[in-house]
Each structure stands twice: as structure tokens, then as C-alpha cells.
Amino acid sequence: MSDADPIRVATAATHLPPDHPTVAFGRVGVLLVNLGTPDAPTTGPVRRYLAEFLSDRRVVELPPILWQPLLRGVVLMTRPKRTAANYAKVWDRAADDSPLRVITRAQATALAADLPGVIVDWAMRYGTPTIPDRLAALKAAGCERILIAPLYPQYSSATTGTVNDKVFATLMKWRWQPALRTLPPYHDDPLLIDALAATFKQGVADLDWTPDLLLTSFHGMPRSTLDKGDPYHCQCRKTARLLADRAATPLEVSFQSRLGRAEWLKPYTDATLAALPGRGVKKLVVMAPGFSADNLETLEEVAMEGRATFLAAGGTHFAYLPCLNASAIGNAALTAIVRRELAGWLPAS
């Protein structure tokens, strides 16, 4: 093999014994990571998924001695059945998989096609495929340099932070570690903002009515996370502000998916949807720019429940515009962002 070959193999021609396995090295890898999903829209898999998700100390910051009895004795006895029914509403029957996993797989496939010579893989922080398994696969494929790309535009300890934790904890057990980079937040990246604005304009052009308002619904976090210094709230607000400027449209921000009785980031999406018609907003478009791929929270909570809430309160027109997903617009933005973060690792084009 020549020095220009992207993959080089150490063989017995050097100092290794003849029966020693060959070792691939010299490759660059990218691992896309999203939140996670159960393996089926039924109670058992949902319970296992929620147990892993809600046991993460970055997700629920209560002391385990207080939280675990409540989680095991109440939450996991009651919530999985209801959550499984919601997953069943949005499950991709053709693929027999969750929308989040289907879309993340498609994003990885598109990224690999756009980055020849780079090995692209994907994982879920909770559920399967796991981060340790996919990191091991990248290493086995010869990746000595790996970019970890959590697909969260806005940083939060409970999202990007916990992905990085899992990656670093995995590498702590390895004798031979690859060089590592992690994708920084891209909440204000012009590539993201332009993609979101283009999605909005295209979506509105497909309607036969003109919206009074664009509501951007971000995943909620406990208010305490903001007080402790988590930048998530501020980064969500900045994304929304830049999107409003770029799309030249009236825009408001809300936060969804709160859990428990503690105060979460406000205003709440469900309360906002119920109040908007009384304020004269009858025609509404909703986007979720904190999500890179549609999932239970966007498809069921916003597009279904949110729609019903808004129309029941007196709204006349409602449209939920999908996330960037694996659209041509979304793929182009993701490729450009990842390519930039790989600078110095790839040959000059």
C-alpha cells in the first residue's frame, strides 16, 4: 500500500508474529449521537428505556437516595404504559422502529455519502445502539481520530454533557485510545439558522394560509438548571432571535415536556398554545429548533396534542413544520458543520 492509502494495516512483515491479527489504523471517524428511544412501543421496552434515562444524574439531579425509590416505586410503575401508548401513535410501522432512530440512521448515511473516506456511525445515549458499542466499532475499523457529534444545537448538561460523559467513561477502560474531538454547540451557527429559516419559508409557502405567528418550542429543563449556570436557556433564546431575524417573521419562544412539580423554564408550550387564540393568534405555525430529528416530543406532544389544545382554545389553523431531519437542507448544514470540525484531520480537497 502507498502512503496515500486512507487505511494502513500493520502486518507480520514488520515485527509481528505471523499469526498475529492485522490491525487497521489511520482512519477518521464521526459518531453522531442522539438522545435515545425504546426498542418497541410497548410497556417493557419503554420501562427499560425510562429506567436508564431517568437514572442519569445529569438528567435528574436529585440525590439518588431520594429519587431512586420514587423512580422505581412510582414512576416506572405508572408512566411506561402511558408513554408506550404515545410511542405507538408515532411509531414508524414500515421500518418497525422509532422515528428518532430511523431519522438518525438516515442522517448518518447521508453524512457518510458527503464525506468520502470518513467512517460515519451513530448511537443513542439511552437505548440502542449504544455509545460504547459504536465507539468500539469505529476503533475496530481503524479510526484513530474520532469526532463525537451530539445532535443538540443548544448545549445542556443533560444532553451534550451526558453524551460526553458516556464517551469519556468508555475510553477510560481502553488501553489504546483514539484522539478525540467533540462538536461544540451550534445554536447560533449561520448554517443552522439559514437551514431553519429555509425550512420555515418552504413550509409556509406550502400552506394556503398565512400564519399570524411562529412559535418555537424547545425541550424544557428545570428552572434550577438555569440558576446553576447551564447555558441552555440563553442559547435557545439566541437561536430563536436569530431565526426571527433571518425568517423575517413574528416569533415567540416556549418550552415543552416538563416532568414533575418543580418549576421548569417558562413559558410552557401547552399553556402558550391554550392562551394564543385569546390574544388574537388564530393561525399558528410551530417549529422545534432544539431538536435535530423528530421524535415523540415533537410528533405526539406538539403536532398532535399541541394542535388539539390550540384548536380547542379557538385557533383556526395550525401547522407543525418538521425538524431538519435528513432533509436536503438539514443534511447540507450538518455536513458543513461536521466538515469544519474535522479541519486538519482530512486531506486538503
* Range in 5-19, 39-53, 178-192, 306-320 the model is least confident about: 5-19
Do 197 and 234 form a contact (C-beta atoms < 8 A)? Answer: no
The pLDDT value recorded for residue 52 is 98
Query: Which letter does DSSP use for residue 300 in this model?
Result: I
- On the question of pLDDT at 25 being above 50, the answer is yes
- Whether 174 has a pLDDT exceeding 50, the answer reads yes
| The pLDDT value given to residue 2 | 37
Instruction: Sheet with 27-36: list strands edge to edge.
Output: 118-126, 27-36, 143-150, 179-182
Residues of the chain with pLDDT > 70: what percent? 93
pTM for this prediction: 0.92
Is pLDDT above 50 for 3?
A: no
Q: How is residue 260 annotated by DSSP?
A: S
Q: Do 254 and 240 contact (CB within 8 A), yes or no?
A: no
Domains in the chain, start-ordered, CATH in brackets?
190-320 (3.40.50.1400)
Tell me what pLDDT residue 19 has: 60
Interval 190-209 mean pLDDT:
98
pLDDT at 74: 94
Give the type of residue at 322: P
Mean pLDDT of 261-277: 97
The 10s digit of each residue's pLDDT in 291-300 is: 999 999 999 9
Q: Which helix (H) or strand (E) holds 285?
A: strand 283-287
φ, ψ at 313 (rounded to 5°): -85, -5
- pLDDT bin (cut points 50, 70, 90) of residue 72 is very high
The answer on pLDDT for 224 being more than 90 is: yes
Rounded CA-CA distance 192/196 in Å is 6
- Say yes or no to pLDDT of 314 above 50: yes
Q: How confident is the model at residue 329 (pLDDT cuts 50, 70, 90)?
A: very high
Band of the pLDDT at 10, cuts 50, 70, 90?
Answer: very low
Nine cell digits for residue 129: 445502539
Average pLDDT along the chain: 93
Res. 203: pLDDT tops 70: yes
Is pLDDT above 90 for 222? Answer: yes
Residues 92-130 have pLDDT tens digits of 999 999 999 999 999 999 999 999 999 999 999 999 999
280 has pLDDT over 90: yes
pLDDT digits (tens, 9 = 90+) for 163-172: 999 999 999 9
